[in-house]
Amino acid sequence: MTDLSFSPRPLPRGGFSGGRREPPLRPEYERTVTATGPIGDVARPLSPWERLSNVTALRRLLVLAAVAALWQAAAVWQNNPLMFPTFTDTMAALWDGIRRDGLLSMAWTSLSVLLKGYAVAVVLAVLLTTVAVSTRIGNDLLSTLTSMFNPLPAIALLPIAMLWFGLGEVSLIFVLVHAVLWPLALNTHAGFTSVSETLRMAGRNYGLGNLRYVVTLLIPAAFPAILTGLKVGWAFAWRTLIAAELVFGVSSGKGGLGWFIFQNRNELYIDKVFAGLVTVILIGLLVENVVFRWIEVHTVRKWGMVR
């Protein structure tokens, strides 16, 4: 049954029978390499069209234009300006809002609160993760805290924040810190733990102390993950802030973007509501594609850590 005998029978190989098939013996030769002249250019410049299509900003603008066109078409087809204003109406309302309702200063009010909360959260996240990589109990602290608070929506803390800190900026900053701190700390810590052992040993070989080790070695080495954390934190902060302002209304006499949206909805200026939403989106696009992109190009891309 089993045919595993080692009988030396010749295997049929490509119709050739009679022992091992040897490769043919072929003559050797040497050549002098041709100069590149007759071959032509070794490198050829790309055509203008190829170069144009390599510009990321241009491709993304194209996507935006397509979305705007789709919106316009859908709104015209719906023909219900109260519920769904067209793209052009929204742009007109946006322009009007900037000129007469002080939309820009409202956007700045929101942004300045946002930046304060974001900055506090970044500092806290760095401190927390530094403790977490230096000591084992710090590590336990961080993983327990993030698993406790990361799923907790920041808005759910707003009632308590209002009770504690009143109807002011401090309450907003409190919820913002909560929104940014945990995802950022989680990402930073994940980045720290994925730094290669060789690089760690190289750093310790230099005799770097704890804090300098984190600042000069771990943070740059974990920067791709930290950057992701910063982006996620930024998005969470924006959402939380706009939502909080919708609930909050005016804080300290100056309303933000959320307030602009809320107020105009109450007065049924739906095109202005859309204008407010578009402002939020535009700021988001700007920060992602200009600020974060700039950071990315000058750090992790330049270092070859991401493609």
Partner 1 sequence: MNALTYPHSIDSDGLSERSLLDVSGVTLQYKTRRHLVTATYRVDFQVFQAERYVLLGPSGCGKSSLLKAVGGFLQPVEGAIRLNGHTVTRPGPDRMMVFQEFDQLPPWKTVKENVMFPLLASGKARRREAEEKALDCIARVNLTKFADVHPHMLSGGMKQRVAIARAMAMEPDILLMDEPFAALDALTRRKMQEELLQLWDDLRFTVLFVTHSIEEALVVGSRILVLSPHPGQVKAEINCDGYDHGAVGGAEFQALANRIHTMLFAEDVEGSGKGPSA
Contact with partner 1 (CB under 8 A): which of 16, 95, 206, 294? 206
Piece of 115-123, 206-214, 246-254, 284-292 that binds partner 1 (CB under 8 A): 206-214
For residues 267 and 273, what is the distance between their CA atoms, to the nearest angstrom? 10
Amino acid at residue number 18:
G
Amino acid at residue number 62:
L
> What does the per-residue mask of binding to partner 1 show for 218-247, with x meaning CB under 8 A?
--xx-x------------------------
For residues 240 and 178, what is the distance between their CA atoms, to the nearest angstrom? 10
Nearest residue (CB) to partner 1, 124 versus 305: 305
For residues 258 and 277, what is the distance between their CA atoms, to the nearest angstrom? 9
Tokens of 306: 């991401």
Find the shortest distance in angstroms from Cβ 287 to partner 1. Answer: 23
Going by the DSSP 8-state scheme, the letter that residue 13 receives in this structure is B
Q: CA end-to-end span of the chain, whole Å?
A: 57
Q: Does 2 bind partner 1 (CB under 8 A)?
A: no
Nearest residue (CB) to partner 1, 134 versus 299: 299
CB atoms within 10 A of CB 212: 12
Instruction: Enumerate residues 160-199 that contact partner 1 by CB under 8 A.
Output: 196, 198-199
Piece of 49-57, 114-122, 154-162, 211-219 that binds partner 1 (CB under 8 A): 211-219
- Which residues does residue 254 pair with via DSSP β-bridges, in sequence order? 251
Nearest residue (CB) to partner 1, 104 versus 306: 306
Nearest to 143 by CA among 98, 103, 179, 190: 190
> What does the per-residue mask of binding to partner 1 show for 263-282, with x meaning CB under 8 A?
--------------------
Nearest residue (CB) to partner 1, 89 versus 296: 296
For residues 192 and 130, what is the distance between their CA atoms, to the nearest angstrom? 9
Nearest residue (CB) to partner 1, 208 versus 246: 208
For residues 255 and 272, what is the distance between their CA atoms, to the nearest angstrom? 15
Binding region for partner 1 (CB under 8 A): 196, 198-199, 201-202, 204-208, 212, 216-217, 220-221, 223, 299, 302-305
